Amino acid sequence: MTGTAMKVMVAMSGGVDSSVAAALLVEQGHEVVGVTMRLWGGESDTGCCSVSDVDDARRVAQQLGIDHLVFNFSDDFNEHVVDPYVQAHTTGITPNPCIECNRHVKFARLSERAELLGFDAVATGHHARVTPSVSGTGFELERGADRAKDQSYVVHMIDQAELARTMFPVGDMTKADVRAHASRLGLRTATKPDSQDVCFITSTGGRTAFLGHRIPFRSASVVDTSGALVGTVPSVEMVTLGQRRGIGLPGGGPKRFVVDIDVPRAVITVGDEADLLTPGHHVGAMTWVHEPETLAAFETVLVQCSAHGVPQPATVSMGADLSMSTGTDLPMIEVRWLEPQRRIAPGQSIVLYDPTDRFVLGGGIAGAPLLR
């Protein structure tokens, strides 16, 4: 991004990070307009979609002296986030709705609207950084300065075209610095807790209530790795790979984990932790910050499999012959750990970083584990 003043659309969720992002851009002399996206029209007491969040964003915009708009993207949100989330659970897949919201709505859809309205850039309160490419061409997607709050994992799908017009104003700050800056400005969000949960899942009903109103639940048998029946669960759709609690087993015995979910047969297999280990994973629906050929520069990369997971070293192989149904023509890769790791639930995001653990290389959706 250049140092000249620009017209910037700031996504304001009603939280402290996006509030300070807007404030920083105003202080830097940019022409700033705050936008809150109305995404989920149903019941919400968590996440970033409540009526109070919209009100907080509007009040902060007033404090900063900037215009505030509300865009209704609920149809896009239902089509690309909620409906796929529900459908995935009927097939034994565990999706990450917040990442899909970022992919389809908070960046793609919002960027499209910003361009239509003549904005130069879109800004959010994510803890990540857009920096000039080390090669001198294009941009890098870099981890946020506050490693404990780094959100590069959840925005890994941003490509070069979007990076060129994306700003992360708080990416160079720690969370403590963000809150301190908000306090100095007297912003009403200065002490507001961070959103932790999926916005359309209430804290009272949880996933069970949400999905139970939308899909029929089927009970499932629970067997051990020898095939012996050891219990039952009321819903195969609610079980996740690696799950240990709530799988219908008596307490007091050795720890057992879900190591396989056969939805068509309604059979859950449990085993010990060693049974969860795999040498690697197929990864589909890959997106790249740069062209995938950049992988050739690295003998190994670091791979992160959850928002706050510890990156693990791995090798990566490319290949169109890697068989995995992803419902997309995007390329697939094979990630092979240097040391066996726990299996990743299908549907979760697997994100590649360079060996220094600073820059996002690309990311995709976990598919089948490697067998050997």
Long-range contacts of 160-164, Cβ-Cβ distance < 8 Å, separation of 24 or more = 160/289, 160/290, 162/107, 162/108, 162/111, 163/130, 163/138, 163/139, 163/289, 164/138, 164/139
What residues in the chain have per-residue pLDDT under 50? Answer: 320-328
What confidence score (pLDDT) does residue 50 get? 67
Could you tell me how far CA 260 lies from the centroid of its own chain?
24
Q: Which of 48, 49, 98, 101 is catalytic?
A: 101
What confidence score (pLDDT) does residue 322 get? 39
Q: Which of 48, 49, 98, 199 is catalytic?
A: 199
Active site residue 199: yes
Residue 34's H or E segment, with its range, is strand 31-38
Under a CB-based contact definition with an 8 Å cutoff, are residues 270 and 258 in contact?
Answer: yes
| Residue ranges of the chain assigned to CATH 2.40.30.10 | 275-369
The residue type of 333 is: I
| Residue ranges of the chain assigned to CATH 2.30.30.280 | 216-271
What confidence score (pLDDT) does residue 318 get? 84
What confidence score (pLDDT) does residue 52 get? 81
Q: What is the CATH number that goes with domain 216-271?
A: 2.30.30.280
Cβ-Cβ contacts under 8 Å for 370 (sequence gap 6 or more): 278, 279, 280, 281, 282, 334, 336
pTM: 0.92
Q: What's the CA gap between 233 and 222, in Å, rounded?
A: 7
Beta bridge partners of 353: 302, 360
Q: Which residues of 188-208 are buried (b: 16+ CB within 10 A; e: fewer)?
A: bbbebeebeebbbbbeeeebe
Under a CB-based contact definition with an 8 Å cutoff, are residues 269 and 223 in contact?
Answer: yes
**3-class secondary structure, 292:** helix
Cβ-Cβ contacts under 8 Å for 181 (sequence gap 6 or more): 20, 23, 24, 173
Paired tokens of 351: 């994100």
| Residue ranges of the chain assigned to CATH 3.40.50.620 | 7-185
**DSSP structural state of residue 195:** P
Cβ-Cβ contacts under 8 Å for 157 (sequence gap 6 or more): 99, 102, 103, 107, 287, 363
What confidence score (pLDDT) does residue 137 get? 83
Active site residue 101: yes
Residue 20's H or E segment, with its range, is helix 16-27
**3-class secondary structure, 25:** helix
* Domain topology for 275-369: Elongation Factor Tu (Ef-tu); domain 3 (2.40.30)
Architecture of the structural domain at 7-185: 3-Layer(aba) Sandwich (3.40)
Under a CB-based contact definition with an 8 Å cutoff, are residues 314 and 335 in contact?
Answer: yes
